[in-house]
Amino acid sequence: MTDVPPDPCRDAPAFLRRLFDRAVEAADPMRSLAAHLPPRPAGRVVVVGAGKASARMAEAVLAAWGPCEGLVITRYGHARPCPGIEIVEAAHPVPDRAGVEATARMLDLLAGLGSGDFVLALISGGASALLCAPAAGMTLADKQAVNAALLASGAPIGAMNTVRKHLSRVKGGQLAGTAWPARMLCLMISDVPGDDPAFIGSGPTVGDGSTPADARAILDRWGIAVPTSALCALQGGSGVIAPGDPRLSQTENRIMAAPAQSLAAAADLARSWGCAVEILGDALEGEAREVAADHARLALDRQAARRPGDPPLVILSGGELTVTRQGDGIGGPNAEYALALALGLKGADRIHALACDTDGIDGAAEVAGAVIGPDTLARATPAAARSALATNGSHDLFGRIGAQVVTGPTLTNVNDFRAILIA
């Protein structure tokens, strides 16, 4: 990538896309993993993993360590060549039979290890769906119904993952517990606000102090309807392993890439191109349309305070926004944020923005997000924009006006990236 920037006044979409690409590049496992990898241990080494970035992580491991054995589960379309390591593709965000069968084989593989063996676990966003081992009494269809209900609820990711842990035989430390007494190092790419390892991929290698009662309270608070089998499983307890359990004594968890690093990389690039930068934080949460309304007001305030000769201002933020599903349109939190932002800005001159998921998938669509500018409402019509927001149809609208950002699989995942340019 050349560092000669597009002119933010003449080609703001290209300028913003370059910032996004730099954020993704900073989290590419082929660039970031080796620094966190120890020398290859003596004896048997087994590599396991799950997540949208896990196959790319495994590829980086092989580049550093040479041939390894193991099993990694990634999303359809995200496989990488990893000789010796079986790469299984499965469904995300709602699990499927391929994920269930691969998870069962992974647990069997780990259960046969001893104290002289070493496990390298590779966990990234998406592991919550890809590692699927339903709790006793639950079927795959039950798990699919739970995941679909959680995704439509608008609940924050931490709450969703608490429920997922207590309805699973692999999350909440149980993957590490299965491998004990083997030594385990888990390398993680964080896609959760706050970078708590217990919530990355629902923490399969991390102890958790929550209880089934906590999971039931989340279902009640957010009005999430789940199958009777799930309620029975929560009544009967769960296998989640508490912090301090001896079965976790051989496990080390290490975050190798996080949203803050990607925002910092984009900020450094913008500054090197003569822009002023304001970072709102890497852990923003909340309803996408409400956060967008706040950011529209902020951008207009910043624009009103500008003076002749001021450099372009880039406002960056990360985190994970949510959408409470109200209609049957195709949308995701980044596209919904972009649409609500455009409505809030009302065509303000010289303000452009990009909102994308760093994994290239916004919601359930194969679209990273969208880019907006002063002409967005004129191209879409305000009435169509309001209708699309009301029905969660942001991807449909941006597709019609040619404002989608499509990257394909980026093979990493440090969650949302949002950039507002006041040029």
The 3-state DSSP class for residue 340 equals helix
Nearest CA among 367, 318, 374 for reference residue 344: 374
Q: What is the residue-averaged pLDDT of the chain? A: 96
Residues of the chain with CATH 3.40.50.10180: 29-257
Whether the pLDDT of residue 9 is over 90: the answer is no
Structure tokens at 350: 């010289």
What's the pLDDT score for residue 3? 63
Helix axes 140-153, 157-166, angle to 10 degrees: 160
The 3-state DSSP class for residue 111 equals helix
What's the pLDDT score for residue 337? 98
Which residues are CB-contacts of 399 (< 8 A; sequence separation ≥ 6)? Answer: 367
Q: What is the DSSP string of 224-235?
A: ----HHHHHHHH
Q: Across residues 98-102, what is the average pLDDT? A: 98
Each residue of 311-360: pLDDT tens digit? 999 999 999 999 998 888 888 999 999 999 999 999 999 999 999 999 99
Structure tokens at 185: 């190092």
Of the options 3.40.1480.10, 3.40.50.980, 1.10.3430.10, 2.60.40.10, the CATH number for the domain spanning 12-26+260-422: 3.40.1480.10
What's the pLDDT score for residue 329? 84
What's the pLDDT score for residue 57? 98
Check if the beta carbon of residue 337 is closer than 8 Å to that of residue 415: no
Each residue of 49-97: pLDDT tens digit? 999 999 999 999 999 999 999 999 999 999 999 999 999 999 998 999 9
Helix axes 333-345, 382-390, angle to 10 degrees: 140
What's the pLDDT score for residue 2? 53
Each residue of 380-423: pLDDT tens digit? 999 999 999 999 999 999 999 999 999 999 999 999 999 999 99
Nearest CA among 22, 32, 125 for reference residue 78: 125
* CATH 1.10.240.10 describes domain 29-257: no
Does pTM top 0.75 for this prediction?
yes
**Model confidence band, residue 8 (pLDDT cutoffs 50, 70, 90):** confident
What's the pLDDT score for residue 365? 84
Amino acid in the structure at residue 385: A
3-state secondary structure 145-203: HHHHHHHHHCCCHHHHHHHHHHCECCCCCHHHHHHCCCEEEEEEECCCCCCCHHHHHHC
- The whole-angstrom separation of Cα 41 and Cα 186 is 14
Check if the beta carbon of residue 19 is closer than 8 Å to that of residue 405: no
Residues of the chain with CATH 3.40.1480.10: 12-26+260-422
Dihedral, CA atoms, 18, 78, 411, 254, nearest 10 degrees? 160
Q: Across residues 358-365, what is the average pLDDT? A: 91
Dihedral, CA atoms, 191, 192, 196, 198, nearest 10 degrees? -80
Each residue of 219-258: pLDDT tens digit? 999 999 999 999 999 998 899 999 999 999 999 999 999 9
